[in-house]
Amino acid sequence: MSALLLDGKALAKKTEEELSARVKALKERGGSTPILATILVGDDPASATYVKMKGNACERVGMESIRVEMPSSTTTEELLNKIQELNDNPNVHGILLQHPVPEQIDERACFDAIELSKDVDGVTCLGFGRMAMGEEAYGCATPKGIMRLLEGFDIELQGKHAVVVGRSPILGKPMAMMLLNANATVTICHSRTQNLDSHIRQADIIVGAVGKPEFIKAEWIKDGAVVIDAGYHPGGVGDIELGPLKDRVAAYTPVPGGVGPMTINTLIYQSVDSGEKKTA
């Protein structure tokens, strides 16, 4: 069996071309250029790299970005004030608060302070609740990116048994709800699930989102499954032992180049959508 490579990098590039055309059309209609505001608190080098990558993605499609940098000593109140300032700015169409923030900050309070219409990263409790109920809201960027990847490669979800390994509020939980809304039958597992391998063996679609390198073993995954690896760790490995699977599964995401590019692409996609809605 030759497995289908779910190439997120290629799909993201194709989508960027489409988004560039949408941004150009928006400007020609007299609308304002979509603007994504990114907030980076502290000096974590990985977070700084991610924010830079998101700014570069904005530039590639003709968007603009506002980069807000705040010191490690920032308080919850100071961050809330900055978020409110961006909420009140009519020229800002999307707000991204880079995770994680320094430990003295109430991250959840700050996420939830983001206005729903500007929550293009899908991190608010209100946005999650609306998404789970099938109401209009921007989906959390990584799971929404996975859903767009599955759709882009015509992976059938209806009636399939999907197993999500991971329960984080910005990945595992919203991933499960999105798959459920797409009419999959969903099992949610995590690092403490008993007999984890027996659950995974039943999966038509497996999503690795547990945050531990190669935690999910290849021998647990049945032939013909669709394998989505949302992890990335030093050495270029994900949460799933992918090597032995490439000749016996139906489709899989490479690490890197699968889920990662679609996460950033979804953030930009939803920012452009927000800009269009403000002009409509």
Q: What share of the chain is helix, strand, coil (3-state, %, to 5)?
A: 45, 15, 40
For the record, the structure tokens of 23 come out as: 């941004």
**217 flagged as catalytic:** no
Q: How far is CA 257 from CA 165, 224, 237, 268, in A?
A: 20, 21, 11, 17
| Of 7, 54, 173, 239, catalytic | 54
**54 flagged as catalytic:** yes
For the record, the structure tokens of 117 come out as: 């219409």
Beta strands 64-70 and 94-97 are unpaired
Counting beta carbons within 10 angstroms of the beta carbon of residue 273, is it exposed (0 to 12), middle (13 to 18) or buried (19 or more)? middle
For residue 129, the number of C-alpha atoms closer than 13 Å in the C-beta half-sphere is: 5
**98 flagged as catalytic:** yes
Cβ atoms of 122 and 99 closer than 8 Å: no
Q: What is the DSSP letter of 153?
A: T
Residues 6+ apart with CB under 8 A from 236: 255, 256
| φ, ψ dihedrals at 246, nearest 5° | -65, -20
The residue to which tokens 């013909």 are assigned: 224
| Of 7, 82, 118, 121, catalytic | 121
| Of 82, 98, 144, 204, catalytic | 98
CA distance 139 to 149: 14
CA distance 29 to 145: 28
Residues serving a catalytic function are: 54, 98, 121
